[in-house]
Structure 1
């Protein structure tokens, strides 16, 4: 079985009442699935569809099994059928996006683009569909990810977030923690963990902080961060707007794997500068590319940036770059994902 990408949550919702025989079949199929007996589970899911061809959960489950087996074409077909039964199911929308990502990764870009365009056309009000379709096709790329897309995406896989990132050898919090220790010699600072998620940066920031605050769009992620008992305050809010109300509040702000949901960095960098005291530090990671364009929306749904654009945007917001190193942030499809680990200082 392949490694599942971030956020592939296995939630199967049944939108209609099942007969007892189908109910029993579904429970047995699920048991086999979680025992990693995918072939046997698939047989039972298909048996359910013989009795009820519109069974949304069985359709979705078969799509996931095909995804697990790197068989992305059938995965997409089953997920589209599942969406036809429940157009509002955010889990199916999310998993469809990841399956299209898999198709592109396996060289089926033309087909993935055609399906993605139709997906966006069929579901024009669904933020996941619009964002991932733009990522796959390159059409009408927004300058940042929509708030609803981010919140839904991270609410969806909050309970598996830490374990999935461990599988991906996720290093951003550790790299930022090490970078800060090279520039901070204090333990009484007011620190912001911007886009704090489940609080993975918390253990690195708490020893430096008199007060540690976190902001995130995902209520489910914040609930897990709260359980760490490292933060003095946690707020559910859109980051740019929240920062604009916190003038000169922080000594240090950290953003680990957050700026990949922003294309245009001018607004978020400006808001970050306004929230820092003179001389305050802003430490962050982001993925980079070697293209001429300032930023690009990748097929993963995340933005990458040119190093030149990042440096220009920092200077435009009044920051001085004091450290900028390449580092391996994680692995994806067994390939290292590198990016910048940056520490910048707000001017006096």
Structure 2
């Protein structure tokens, strides 16, 4: 038999396998497609096509590392393959790898500059990376090329919203809602934009109308709960946080707020809650804190001056300093003129770290969860600070113990905490408040310090900031390892 006669059946078989596997993926049956793709990959010249479709199937099954590896194989055959680049960009976005997704989507735009989908994908990746103006440009280009695409329109509206351009966002999102017949996710986005623009009443009206019409969506309940909180209506917000958490059971942000609203004790806020809270809050964080009379960085400075008079007098310098939960770097600003060694900042929120980096005070900024940060082997630190960090943790023994390991033998631990003084019948030492923050019993704070080997140098009750119902009381504590 000639080579030509052998090739024809194999080509025919490959076409049938590819078409069948592709249809299974389109029909949301990706697991059934995988055996066919195994066979397809063994046919001459079809391994790249099989790899690309395998990547799509594995992504649908949420097996993202394997999906990315399959996309890598497809791109090994043709590094400029736009479809493969776009698929890998979407996989990387799903894995939280916005920078890698930007690289892939940009390469896809270069390979196929006429492709509106590639431009929309690049805009989406830039939006996730908080490059709002550039995201708006690419999403606008995609919308001009494909003006009827509802996904591109809604992402452009979201980009305007996140950039703080609420009037432009309102116009686009109103069109999206009307064109979709009131799709719940779009109504929630429209209401979120109104809420961020300061129109809580308008947001509430939109959301209640959607719910009254029978819509069921986690985002509707979540945004409505936040709108109610702007008026201090915690009791009314609680059932909506609960409904949102039930409709989105894998959302750690909603789970934490539902627990707080319903008085359910947990030992710490979820990482996803802290990240979502502060990534969204970062651009206006300092302005908001100043409006609330935030005092903690200044209180830390004064406490360190009292503990280290040689530093306060200018006869000694401070450092190295580890600023855990550094946020936008306000503690770094407060201590800047005393520093004589490196200042390192750690925060879970990339948005906060970007704001801190702009101050040009930190030798290093690390995006890490606090436990992971304290598991590192640090050079002995002169000072470890936790400014309004413990309010996102219930159980404190691991963190206080980790701070002790990071400190020099004569170093200082400086932290703030919201506290409560009534009886603690549960005996656990902390409470999850309706605000989503934790308060700690003074006796529990003292226990954690003693257990970790700290002696308390200073314990000062202070008003940490203001809220609508008055000052928030707490403590500022300075401690040093026992024996120094």
TM-score tier, shorter chain, comes to 0.7 to 0.9
Q: Are the structure 2 counterparts of residues 313 and 120 from structure 1 closer, same or farther at C-alpha, using a change threshold of 3 Å?
A: same
* 2:327 aligned with 1:197: yes
**Aligned twin of 1:133:** 258
* 2:245 aligned with 1:120: yes
Structure with the higher strand share, 1 or 2 = 1
Residue 255 of structure 1, aligned match among 357, 378, 386: 386
* 2:183 aligned with 1:54: yes
User: Contact conserved, 2:225 with 2:238, CA < 8 A, in 1?
Assistant: no
Determine the C-alpha separation between the residues in 1 that align with 2:227 and 2:357.
32
Q: TM-score, normalised by structure 1?
A: 0.78
User: Contact conserved, 1:247 with 1:275, CA < 8 A, in 2?
Assistant: yes
Please, what is the CA RMSD of the aligned residues? 3.9
**Aligned twin of 2:355:** 224
**Aligned twin of 2:6:** none
Larger CA deviation: 256-265 vs 244-253: 244-253
Residues 285-309 of structure 1 show CA distances to partners (whole Å, capped at 9, x for unaligned) of 1111223331111121111111121
User: Contact conserved, 2:174 with 2:190, CA < 8 A, in 1?
Assistant: no
Q: CA shift at 1:145, angstroms?
A: 1.1
User: Contact conserved, 2:301 with 2:335, CA < 8 A, in 1?
Assistant: yes
Residue 149 of structure 1, aligned match among 264, 270, 273: 273
**Helix, strand or coil at the partner of 2:257:** helix
Q: CA shift at 1:191, angstroms?
A: 0.8
User: Contact conserved, 1:215 with 1:235, CA < 8 A, in 2?
Assistant: yes
Residue 239 of structure 1, aligned match among 370, 373, 376: 370
Q: TM-score, normalised by structure 2?
A: 0.58
Aligned positions of 1:155-304 closer than 5 A: 155-184=279-308, 185=310, 186-206=316-336, 207-247=338-378, 249-293=380-424, 294-304=429-439
Determine the C-alpha separation between the residues in 2 that align with 1:79 and 1:219.
33
Determine the C-alpha separation between the residues in 1 that align with 2:445 and 2:404.
14
**Helix, strand or coil at the partner of 1:182:** helix
Q: CA shift at 1:160, angstroms?
A: 1.5
Q: Are the structure 2 counterparts of residues 147 and 278 from structure 1 closer, same or farther at C-alpha, using a change threshold of 3 Å?
A: same
Determine the C-alpha separation between the residues in 1 that align with 2:210 and 2:481.
47
Size of the alignment, in residue pairs?
Answer: 322
Residues 206-255 of structure 1 show CA distances to partners (whole Å, capped at 9, x for unaligned) of 32331111111111211221111111111111112222223562011111
Determine the C-alpha separation between the residues in 2 that align with 1:156 and 1:120.
19
Structure with the higher helix share, 1 or 2 = 2
Determine the C-alpha separation between the residues in 2 that align with 1:229 and 1:261.
27
**Helix, strand or coil at the partner of 1:286:** strand
User: Contact conserved, 1:94 with 1:128, CA < 8 A, in 2?
Assistant: no
Q: Are the structure 2 counterparts of residues 251 and 80 from structure 1 closer, same or farther at C-alpha, using a change threshold of 3 Å?
A: farther
Aligned positions of 1:317-332 closer than 5 A: 317-332=452-467
Larger CA deviation: 149-158 vs 189-198: 149-158
Determine the C-alpha separation between the residues in 1 that align with 2:351 and 2:467.
24
**Helix, strand or coil at the partner of 2:250:** coil
User: Contact conserved, 2:379 with 2:406, CA < 8 A, in 1?
Assistant: yes
User: Contact conserved, 1:269 with 1:317, CA < 8 A, in 2?
Assistant: yes
Choose between structure 1 and 2 for higher RCO, CA contacts under 8 A separated by at least 6 residues.
Answer: 1
Q: CA shift at 1:115, angstroms?
A: 2.4
Unaligned runs of 5+ in 1: 1-10
